[in-house]
Amino acid sequence: MLNRLVLFNLLMTCGLHALEPGRLMSQYMHRQWGTDDGLPQSSVTTIAQTEDGFLWFGTQEGLVRFDGIALTVYDTTNSPSMGNHFVNDLLVDQDGQTLWIATRGGVLSLGPGGFTPVGNLEGLSDPRAYALAKTDDGSLWVATNLGLGRIDHGSLTMFGVEDGIPDPAVRALQAEGSGLWVGTRGGLVFWDQKNGATSKPQMLDPIWCLLRDRSGTLWIGSRNAVFALKAGVLQKHEMSMNKPGVNLVLSLAEDRDNHIWVGTSLGLARLNSDAIEKPRPGAALDELVIRSLFEDMDGNLWLGSGWNGLHQLSNSELLVFSTDEGLPNKNAWAVAETRQGVFVGTDQGVSRVEKGQIRTTDVPAAFIRAMYTDSRDQIWVGTRNNGIYIVSGEKWQHLSQADGLPNDNVRAFAETKDGRMLIATFGGGLAIAELDGRNAESWGPPLDNNFIMGLLSESDGDIWAGTDGDGVYLIRNGSLRKMGVDEGLVYPRILSFLGNPDGTFWCASEGGGIFFFDGVRFHELTTAQGLPDNNVFTTIPDNTGDLWLTGNRGLIRLNEDRARSVALGRGQELPYKRLGKAEGMRSVECNFGGTQSGLLAQDGSVWFPTSNGIVVATPSNPIKNVRVPTPFIVSVVADQQTINEGDTLSSGADRLEITYTAPTFNRVDELAFEYRLEGYDNQWIQAGEERKAHYTRIPPGDYEFRVRSHRPGSDYRVSNPVHFTIKPKFHQTIWFYSLIGLAIAFLGFHSVRLRDAQVRLRETELKVMVQERTQELESMNQVLLETQNQLIDAAHTAGMAEVATQVLHNVGNAMNSINVSGQVLQQHTDQLQGDYLSKLVALLNENENHLADFFKSEKGQKILTSLTAYSKALNRTKRSLTGELLELRQRVDHVNDIIHAQQATATGGRLYERVSVSELITQAVKILEANLIDEDVNIIRTEADAPLVQLEKGKFLQVLVNVIKNACESYQRSGALNPRIHISLGTASRNRETQLVVITIRDYGPGIDTQALEQIFAHGFTTKPEGYGFGLHFCANAMADLKGDISVFSAGPHKGAEFTLILPATY
């Protein structure tokens, strides 16, 4: 019966992404992490992966967990129970979750309860543990300097030389059934649970690592060699590397294609049958000391180096041949194919790619710019300034100006209908020669522009020539016709052609996109029609009906029929795929020498010259879909209190932060998340790449949080839920209200006169308070009016009327919220029923001498009940007034900030503060609370940890208010059923030294059309009938003043708008 560990291993070996065995080691995607990326130390001693997908790395400075994004370090500072943070080995238990850790201070286990020391190795004279293994009986075995240790039910038993261990310094273990192989500095021994140590075979060399592969072969890493032991037969593989010296085999791994990878002190190697593959001398992988090797569940190979950090090898969609693979120069310019293989032209001549290997040719080294295969299977090679080489098999001949060429700078070839070779030169116009190289001479009618970039020869004899700045020339029956703007060719620099059997063709231009010629005129396809780039060097077809476009920013793949339809005006959408470094390119800059700067090979592959090698795509056999990982909820924190599954919070939750992730190590940028808090969210919240969810002021209730992940076109993977309950705070409970009611009734019954005096005094205080605040408000309004007039006068005097209008607009926005507070205060004041108290006091005075009898009467009983109710109402009014007055003060302070900010601008004095952007967002939302309630707009916030920023607080707060208010008001004319504004806070990096804080404010209202987007920040421009166009103009000026940036994006009408605010971070 398969246990969980076996199932886990099956999962690993059945992943979607094994390293393709036909590739050279240098042709895998190579990524690297070091201390600058979060590793605590640059030596990675061991690697493991738990069932949940997390990778674990051991270093000399702690244990590291990796999810593809964040490196989380565990050491003795944050996990004191580790005892020692020098990790030598890791072992995943059969349950797939528990991690066993060998350190220099003993052995630990890591499970749901944290780190736990096991085995009591710390009691030994030398507690260092070097390797771990677990046998079928559940025993944990540990390699030490004092021999072999067995940990069974927490107790440690040691076995040494006296028990048959060849040397007390044990360095490697490999379980096999209920026994295990033990590698020591004195050789190898098999330990049998019943019979103890045996010698199978007798080896005396030091052993550093052991591996039992799927076929049962035991691989043994020693000095200068790897040994394979199968069925009692020992086979030796000498590990001769590219560098001299003693070569220690330190690590071994088997991939799912059954290849053995060998990590040594002199580099990396791969055993393929009896052959040993090594990187080329000087290649990146040749410079590493490989301490550990591991293949993850997706087929990636991980390398832990001695002092160069962590490395990952993975498949890529594109294959590259460059200097690491044997090209003499990384600058590839042209490519052609014959029956002998594919030939590549570089800045150092011509090379041939044969069965994945680079072979040099005898063609003299030259700057190659064009290559063409003629009907005789010869390759015509055009150079930058050295004429032409005609390559036939192993022979070649040379043509130059001395042989009749008008110019030695050759850019393109095309075989004519009558079987001759037409030659495009850069500066000498057109030439022609026989296929055997004879009779080279200038050809065709005189041209206005002799700088020819591209050629196309059609079956009817027509010749098309693309020029460097003069459009396209058509040569038909000896006559010349120039094609340009009148024929629809609106861009004059034409680089290459791609002909179709029906007489139509594509041509590429540098700056004008691509053009489709339908037989009559040209039709452009540019960024205006959906093409992602206007700089296109060449167009290459594949066998799937797609076109591949090269340029300075990588490759573009699109469907030819769709492209033709859009160019002809019959279609609107142009789907495409952009390929670059994420798909395996080492440089996204493609090179262009002429029409032959690309090739559709006979096997269906497509070849592209770049500034770092020749890139190969296999359109009919794309890379398999990348696995979608199941998300994992890392932590739930409410008001700085960690919540576990099923917990109940007894004190409410003002701030809830949920961290989640999904371990993945391929196409990390494609993975997107959505989350939902059942009981609060009505739908899934799209979080993109964010891995934190934030909620504020969650009401009492029962909640369930889930997160799901997906990639483009994939199904969703949903996490296990986390359930928790938030109990109401005491002041939210029925007990609180009941106790308050009883207390008021008791005091009202026994202290009527005292309560009457208190009520009168409270009423007087409230009236005085309201009168003072109202006078303060009137005084502030007068000050604001005078300040506005002063600022407008100053602005006009200085020629800055624009500043005054911005002040008016911002103060007006703030005054709206102040007026709302004033109206609320007036309503509460009107509700104070002073007449009722006067009548009540008069009635009590009338019955002053017999109050006891009076309260026993029916009227007296009603007065007590009424007075109790009135007291409750008065307390509620007081609380409302107190809260409203506090908010009024905050809004008045905001007006003061606006005024001070504008005065500082005028006088040159500014107050910079280190502030939390999250708190400013909260304050802005509070200021606009009335607007949000009126429009029934829901605020959704997604926040990542962001550093403080140093800025003028009032100015940036006003920017937030203006942008959020603008988003809120957009719903006035949208008719949206679920109006909401999504505010996201995160960080970004401009470079290694500059960190940025990024705020996005997105609404789902009517959107902004393209014309309006271009002038959205212009002074006086507005899309609102009642607006003046000052708010967003102020925002643009303010963000520039704060050394930040503001931008807006909208996909079009009815698709909402997204404003992005960027500020430099302060650490």
pLDDT for 942-983, tens place per residue?
888 888 888 888 889 999 999 999 888 888 766 666 788 999
Q: Which of 991, 989, 1011, 999 is nearest to 967 (CA)?
A: 999
Q: 192: Cβ–Cβ under 8 A, 6 or more apart, which residues?
A: 179, 198
pLDDT tens column, 920-947 = 999 898 888 878 887 888 898 988 888 8
pLDDT at 411: 95
Residue 840: its H or E element: helix 834-846
Checking 135-140 for CB contacts under 8 A at 24+ apart, the result is 135/175, 135/177, 135/178, 135/179, 135/180, 135/193, 136/175, 136/177, 136/178, 137/178, 137/193, 140/100, 140/107
Higher pLDDT, 1053 or 967: 967
pLDDT at 820 over 90: no
Q: How many beta carbons lie within 10 A of that of residue 621, not counting itself?
A: 9
Does residue 1000 register a pLDDT over 60? yes
Higher model confidence: residue 885 or residue 772?
772
pLDDT of residue 1019: 76
Cα 378 → chain centroid: 48
223 with 238: CB under 8 angstroms?
no
Query: Which residue's structure tokens are 């009032």?
Result: 954
Reported confidence tier of residue 608, pLDDT bands at 50, 70, 90: very high
* 494 to 45, 423, 611, 653, 937: CA distances (angstroms): 56, 16, 21, 65, 53
Closest to 1050 (Cα-Cα) out of 1006, 1019, 1018, 1020: 1006
Contact 616, 318 (CB under 8 A): yes
Structure tokens at 387: 């004429």
Q: Which residues contact 800 (CB under 8 A, 6 or more apart)?
A: 794
Higher-confidence position of 550 and 122 = 550
Up-side HSE of residue 102: CA atoms within 13 Å toward CB?
27
Return mean pLDDT, the chain. Answer: 85
Joined together, the tokens standing for residue 3 give 């246990």
The answer, yes or no, to whether residue 74 has pLDDT greater than 70, is yes
Query: Per residue in 241-278, pLDDT tens?
Result: 877 888 999 999 999 999 999 999 999 999 987 788 98
Q: What is the pLDDT of residue 105?
A: 94
Q: Which residue has the higher pLDDT, 784 or 680?
A: 680
Model-level pTM?
Answer: 0.68
Distance (Å, whole) CA 876 – CA 882: 10
Residue 602 burial class via C-beta count within 10 angstroms: exposed 0-12, middle 13-18, buried 19 and up: exposed
Burial 370-405 (b: 16+ CB within 10 A, else e): bbbbbeeebbbbbbbebbbbbbbeeebebbbeebeb
- Specify the pLDDT at position 970: 83
The rounded distance, in Å, linking the Cα atoms of 263 and 270 is: 9
Confidence of residue 417 (pLDDT cuts 50, 70, 90): very high
What pLDDT shows up at residue 991? 65
- Whether residue 738 is predicted with pLDDT greater than 80 in this model: the reply is no
pLDDT score at 798: 41
Which residues on adjacent β-strands are paired with residue 289? none
Predicted confidence band of residue 1046 (pLDDT cuts 50, 70, 90) = very high
Contact 616, 332 (CB under 8 A): no
Q: Which residue(s) pair with 613 in the sheet?
A: 610
Instruction: Evaluate if residue 424 carries a pLDDT over 80.
Output: yes
